[in-house]
Amino acid sequence: MSFLAEADRVRLRAAALRLDAGGDRDKPDSKRDVFADLSSPVSPLRMRATPTSSSSSAGSAKSPALCNAAASRGSGGGRGSSHSGELLLVPETACSSTNNNNPPRPPGHRRSGSGPLIFSGGSSGGSAGCGGVGSTATSSPLANALPAGNICSSGRVAASAPAPRPRARPDVLGSGTGHYGHGSIMRGGGGMAPARSSIDTYTTGGSSSRSPAPAPGADTLQEVTRAGNEWYKKGRYGDALRHYDRALALCPDSAACRGNRAAALAGLGRLAEALRECEEAVRLDPASGRAHARLAALCLRFGMVEKARRQLTLAGNVSLADPAEWQKLNEVESHLGKCIDARRVGDWKSALREADAVIANGADASQLLLALRSEALLRLNKLEEADSTITNLLKLDSASLSSMSTKLSGMVADSYVHVVQAQVNMAFGRFDAAVGMAEKARLIDPGNAEVGLVLNNMKLVARARAHGNDLFKAGKFAEASIAYGEGLKYEPSNPVLYCNRAACWSKLGRWSKSVEDCNEALRIQPNYTKALLRRAASYSKLERWADCVRDYEVLRKELPADTEVAESLFHAQVALKTTRGEELSNMKFGGEVEEVTSIEQVRAAIHSPGVTVLYFMATMNQQCAQITPSVDALCSECPSVNFLKVNVEESPTIAKAENVRIVPTFKIYKDGARVKEMICPSLHVLRYSVRHYAVSNS
C-alpha cells in the first residue's frame, strides 16, 4: 500500500507540474511546431549536442514533466520558435531518455514579449542542476536548460527573472524588432524624424539594403550628412558639398544624398549640375515628393514651365507641393506669354516690361528670358544694357534649352538665343562673332526661314564693312562711303557703319554729312564715344562752337585723362568766348592757379563775365597743401573758369575784406554774383561744384 500510495503521489505531482506549466500546452513539441515561424528574418538554429567533460552525480535524471516544462517556457508555450536574440541551447539528449515523442527543441530567438528569457550560459561558479544540486556550467548539457533556483521546495518551476536588455548601439538600423534593413537610418536608436528643410537628414532614401558596418575610425553616412547639413545652414555651400560628395560615395543609390548635393550646388550657382542631380534623385525614388518639388523649383528658374508643372503635379500627389510654388509658376507662365505676344507685334516696351516680370518671379537663370530682354533693349536703342544682358547670359551655368517647347517666330529656343547674340555683336561692330553666332543658330534650326534670312543679311553686312575698310585704307573715301552704305541697306540700325561713313565724309570735307551720320549713330547708341569725337570735330570745322563745347565737355567727363580732348575743349571755349565778345582772362591751357595780392585784382575778377573761383589758402596749412594740386588740375580741366588764389598769410587784408577765417575756403562767382561758398570741402564736392557752374556757363 505504501508503494502504491507513493506512486500515486508521484503521478499527482507530475499532473500539478503540467498544469502549472501551461496545461494542455505542456505537450511534446512536434517537428512542425519547432519550425512553425519560418518567415522570421532570423532563422532558428539547430544546435548539436555538446559533449560533456564531466557528469553530475545528482540531477542527471529528471522527470518528463520537468523537461517539458522547461521546453514549454523556453518556446513560448509551443507557439513557434523564439526571436529574443538569445539562443536556446537545449541539447537533443536532454529529454530523449524520458520521452521519445519529444524531439529536441532547436535554439532560436525570442520576439519581444514572448515569455521569460532562458539564458544560454551561466557562470562557472553557479549552481546549474535541479533541486539545488550543484554542477559546473559545462559539466552537463542540461545545465543550460534552467538557471539555478528555478525549482522551488514545492516542486513547482518558478518564473525566471527577465533578462536585461542590451544597450542600444549609437547607430542602429530599423526598430529592433527583427525587421532589419527596412527602415530609415536613426541616430542612437531614436527614430524621430528631423524637421523638414531644403536638405534631407535621412540619407538612405528608402533603400532596403542594409548598410555595412563602418570600419573603426571611418565616417558613417549619418555623421558625414550631419556635418554637411551644418555647413549648409551656415551658407558654406562649398564645405557642405564636400561632405555630401562623401555621403554619396558611401551610398551612391540614395535619392536623399542626390537631393542634398543638388541643394549645395544650387547654393553655389551651379544650377545645371543641380538640375541633373535632381533628375537622378527622381529616377532613384519616383515616390519622393521632395525630389519632385526640388526639381520643379530648378525647372522654374530655368524658365522650363511645362516641366516644372509636371514635377509640381507629381509632388502634389504626395502632398508636398507648396501653393506658393504654384503661384510663382502661374505668374511666370502668364508674363512669359505676354512677353512673346508683345515681341510678335513689335511692342518692345511691353516686351521688356514682361520679361523683367518673368525674371522677378523666379526665372532668373533662363537664357530664353535674358535673350528676350536683350532683344527688346536692342530695339529700344539701349545697346549697353543689351550687351550687358548678353554678357550675363553667357555667364549662366544654364541647362540646355533643347527640351523647351517654347518657340518664337517658329524658332526653337536655342536658335533664338544665338540669333539675339548675333544681333548684339553686329550692333557693336563684332562682325565676325555675329556671323559665327548666326551660323550656330542655323545649325540648330536649319529649316527656319527667319534664321536663314538673319544669317544671309549678316554675311552681306560683314562683307560690305570689310570692303569699305579696305577702300578707306587705300584713300578711296568716296568708294568707301558707298560700300558702307551698301551694308546699311541690310542693317539700317548699325551705328558702326554710320560712324565709318561719317569718317569718309570728314575726309571729303563734307562736314554737314558727317554730322548727320554721327547724329544717326548717336541716336542708336547715345554713348558712342567715337561718333561723339567725330561730331565735335565736325562742329569745330563748321564753327558751331556752342555745340562743339557741349560735345567736348561730355567727352571730358567720359575721358578725364585724355589731354587731347582737354586741349580741344579749351580751344573751343576760347573760340566761343571770342565770338560772344567776352573779355578773356586767365584763358591759358594748363598751368597753376594765378595768385592775387590786392583787393583791386580780386574785385576785377569777381565782376568779370563768366565764372570765377577764389581759393583762400595758407602755405603752412596741411589741408591746403593736400588740396592745392587738385585745384591746379581743375584749372586745366575747366579752362573757361577763371581761377585765383589768395594766400591769407601774405594778404590778410583780402581775407578780412572777404570775411575768411578758416582755410581752405572757396568762393564761386558768376557774372559778378556769388553763387556758392565752401569751407574745407571734400575734393569730390569741389570738383562737382566747379564743373557744374562751368557747364552752365557754356
CB 595 within 8 A of CB 644: yes
Q: Residue 266 has which C-alpha cell?
A: 544650387
Please report where in the chains the cell 521519445 appears, as a residue: 100
Ranges 84-98, 283-297, 477-491, 521-535: which has the least confidence: 84-98
> Whole-angstrom Cα distance, residue 538 to residue 276?
58
**Helical H segments across 75-141, by residue range:** none
> Whole-angstrom Cα distance, residue 252 to residue 243?
13
CA torsion 376-379-383-386 (nearest 10°) is 20
pLDDT of residue 312: 87
pLDDT of residue 408: 67
**Residue with more model confidence, 677 or 210:** 677
> Whole-angstrom Cα distance, residue 485 to residue 479?
10
3-class SS string, 23-51: HHHCCCCCHHHHCCCCCCCCCCCCCCCCC
Decide: pTM greater than 0.85.
Answer: no
Query: Is the confidence at residue 472, as pLDDT, over 90?
Result: yes
**Residue with more model confidence, 629 or 140:** 629
Q: What is the mean predicted confidence (pLDDT) over 370-396?
A: 90
Please report where in the chains the cell 528555478 appears, as a residue: 150
Handedness of CA 390, 392, 398, 403 (dihedral sign): negative
pLDDT of residue 289: 85
pLDDT of residue 5: 54
Q: In this predicted model, what pLDDT tens digit does every residue of 172-191 receive, in sequence order?
A: 333 333 333 333 333 333 33
Q: In this predicted model, what pLDDT tens digit does every residue of 263-306 receive, in sequence order?
A: 999 999 888 899 999 999 999 999 888 888 889 999 988 888 88
CB 156 within 8 A of CB 144: no
> Whole-angstrom Cα distance, residue 13 to residue 8?
9
What percentage of the chain exceeds 70 in pLDDT? 64
Q: In this predicted model, what pLDDT tens digit does every residue of 106-159 receive, in sequence order?
A: 444 444 444 443 333 333 344 334 444 333 334 444 444 444 444 444 444 444
Domains and CATH numbers, the chain: 1-166 (no CATH), 171-206+219-324 (1.25.40.10), 342-457 (1.25.40.10), 493-580 (1.25.40.10), 594-697 (3.40.30.10)
| 642-647 and 407-408 beta bridge pairing | unpaired
pLDDT of residue 57: 38
**Alpha carbon distances (Å) from 422 to 410, 416, 435:** 18, 10, 7
Query: Is the confidence at residue 668, as pLDDT, over 60?
Result: yes
pLDDT, the chain, mean: 73
Q: What is the mean predicted confidence (pLDDT) over 621-634?
A: 89
**Residue with more model confidence, 150 or 390:** 390
3-state secondary structure of 612: strand
Label residue 235 by pLDDT band (50, 70, 90): very high
3-state secondary structure of 371: helix
pLDDT of residue 232: 93
